[in-house]
A and B are shown apart, each in its own frame.
Chain A
């Protein structure tokens, strides 16, 4: 499928055991994944980082 221009793109791989692997994590997707699992050690700090302009 051709990707529309000017849109954000994240790829997910959902494994049979429930784990989710992520490629090209964007802020909107980070927020969604954080809600799904607030304690995930990979997602939580990244979702927080997105909220902190330097």
Chain B
């Protein structure tokens, strides 16, 4: 089924609607949209990792270059903003590496970016080459389209989705993305219904009240019991210094208040 989906996704490049920007460009003809991705994909990292949620590690992480968002604080900004950096994504070769890692004790295989949605056809080609029993993790910014969801349905076991901003103004200012909340919330609700969902929120300095609190409140009301990973290890990477409040790390008091917010809303926090 993954092979068939990969073919459908490749055909979809003629009128690219993978993400919620709906650029509609013909990537097969060399046109590019906001993410600048073409037909080929590159990856900038493929290795066993332990940074992620305890229930997912060790994971064999494959990070594809390119993204449809433009987060100034992106920890992998150089690779995420440029889909042409890194090495050529070869599904067969990466599947062999993933299988070797699984044989050595990796529990999962994780596709991430950048944002893997912009390279959906390659991601699905990789899935087609992995054994059915492998636990696959789709690490996403949750800014995909309905078409992407349809192509991804049943392909990954876990959706590890970012919920970065608690309001559209912060999303527009820091990631240059309009209508963020509605799009992400729709994707999260879909993922929750169609598989296992883990929501991640990166606590940003100065955004505890405007972003984390509304995110926590929405999750409590709409996805009660969903697994949430609150990450407080923000560091001022890439172009974060464009924003005064993002020039440092999260203060201890701010971190503690964020945990209190999680407790107030009864969130199911996971490490």
Give 29 pairs: A residue, B residue, CB < 8 Å, sorted on A.
A8-B47, A8-B48, A9-B45, A11-B75, A15-B249, A19-B249, A22-B233, A24-B45, A24-B47, A24-B51, A25-B50, A26-B47, A26-B48, A26-B49, A26-B50, A27-B48, A27-B58, A42-B233, A42-B271, A46-B50, A46-B57, A49-B50, A49-B58, A50-B57, A50-B58, A50-B105, A53-B104, A53-B105, A54-B107
Give the number of residues in A that approach B within 8 Å (Cβ atoms). Answer: 25
Cβ distance B144 to chain A, nearest Cβ, rounded Å: 24
- The bracket for how many chain B residues form the interface is 10 to 19
- What per-residue 1/0 map shows which CB atoms of A22-53 lie under 8 Å from chain B? 11111100100000000001100111011011
Contact B233 A47 (CB under 8 A): no
> Chain B residue with minimal CB distance to A45?
B54
Q: Given contacts A45-B271, A49-B57, A50-B58, is CB(A23)–CB(B105) below 8 Å?
A: no
A21 close to chain B: CB less than 8 A: yes
B87 close to chain A: CB less than 8 A: yes
- Chain B residues close to A by CB (< 8 Å): 45, 47-51, 54, 57-58, 61, 75, 87, 104-105, 107, 233, 235, 249, 271
Q: Which 7 A-B pairs have the closest CB atoms?
A: A53-B105, A46-B50, A25-B51, A25-B50, A13-B235, A21-B233, A54-B107
> Chain A residue with minimal CB distance to B61?
A24
Cβ distance B224 to chain A, nearest Cβ, rounded Å: 26
Assembly CA distance A53 to B75 (angstroms): 29
Residues of A within 8 A of B105 (CB): 50, 52-54
